Amino acid sequence: MSAEFGKPLCEIDVLGEIEPEDETALGSVTEQAGSPSTPQQPQKVAQQHQTRPDETNKSSVVPKAPSTRGHSALATPAVRGLLKDLKIDITEVTGTGKDGRVLKEDVQNHASSHSSKSASSLSLTPSQSSSNASQTESIISLTPIQSQMFKTMTRSLSIPHLLYTDDLNITPLSSLRHQLNTHPSIPNQPKISYLPFIIKAVSLALDSYPVLNARIDTDTDASRPRLIMRSAHNIGIAMDTPQGLIVPNIKNVNSLSILDIASEIKRLQSLALTSKLTPLDLTGGTITVSNIGSIGGTYVAPVIVGSEVAILGIGKKRVVPAFDDEGEIVKRESMNFSWSADHRVVDGATMARCAEMVREFVERPERMVMRLK
């Protein structure tokens, strides 16, 4: 038999380690129990048979039965310290040592058994309650807007999407916007957000890349699809309303100023909140801009509608550290632009070039001013 390294060879019980009350309990139990294999001394036997006269009339006293608790209460000081730390009553532990002495292993087994029972009882409660709970289902019809969205997005599943994304530095645009809102040029000028500038930048880029303003015609001849080029830039803006997502569009953005676009956005938002948009406001869009960042989110993969070939998703504005031309760290306002294009008619290079032109107009708004008509 080999001993393991780091393990004790044996355990030695030392009488001196027993508490005084334990030693008294053990001694009384031993005297009462006796040993059948050891003959009693004659002197002790004689003393047991001698009875004084004055004791003959006294009532006999029945000796108290040995208590098994005396055995189970035996433990070394170290074990008693462990019992105190674990808040365990020594009388609740079954001792397996000599004369019923409680060992450290007995305490540990008792503690683990007690904790496992408590954990099992606690774990049964939620599972039993959840198993008894019944699933309730109810049928709700889609709203008209949800029904239209269901049909439109189902058709969009057949479109292979090309995704192109980039982070834009909007710090100069933010400064220009702040100046225009602080010093309005006309009476009752609406507050200008980033969106009118972005919509105008998209329209200016469409002049150079008109394919992104087109639509695919498969109704005339499904075997020979065609591109229908469109001159007017009717740019849709996705709006979150109490009734759901709707996409009214701003007509002829290519002939509008930034202030005109801002006024039209305000008009459409007011009508959308009161459910007073007309069919003319909701039809005829050629490309869509979704400002999901106004709600939250940095990146988005926008979904193209069937009557268009491209869509732009705008993430929320962020303030990030960046390096300037001198290599110094500066604070920069950044915004992510995520484009999706119909990869059946728009290749990646065309999408990238158009997106880069939009980036130039947004990051350097003075160049956009030079292109305004």
Active site residue ranges: 343, 347
Q: Which amino acid does the sequence have at 24?
A: T
Can you give the C-alpha Rg of the chain in angstroms? 45
Torsions phi, psi for 14 (to 5 deg):
-105, 130
- How many whole angstroms from its chain centre is CA 5? 47
Quote the CA–CA distance of 83 and 209 in Å, as a whole number: 82
Quote the CA–CA distance of 135 and 122 in Å, as a whole number: 23
Q: Is 358 exposed, middle or buried (0-12, 13-18, 19+ CB in 10 A)?
A: buried
Closest CA relative to residue 230, chosen from 212, 246, 256, 247:
212
In DSSP notation, 262-289 reads: HHHHHHHHHHHHTT---HHHHS---EEE
Quote the CA–CA distance of 235 and 202 in Å, as a whole number: 9
Closest CA relative to residue 321, chosen from 312, 333, 313:
333
Put residue 82 in one of left, alpha, beta given phi > 0 → left and psi -120 to 50 → alpha. alpha
C-alpha pair distances (Å), 15 with each of 70, 99, 290, 305: 16, 13, 85, 90
Q: Yes or no: say if 186 and 257 are a contact pair by the CB < 8 Å rule.
A: no
Alpha helices per DSSP H over 133-240: 144-156, 171-182, 194-208
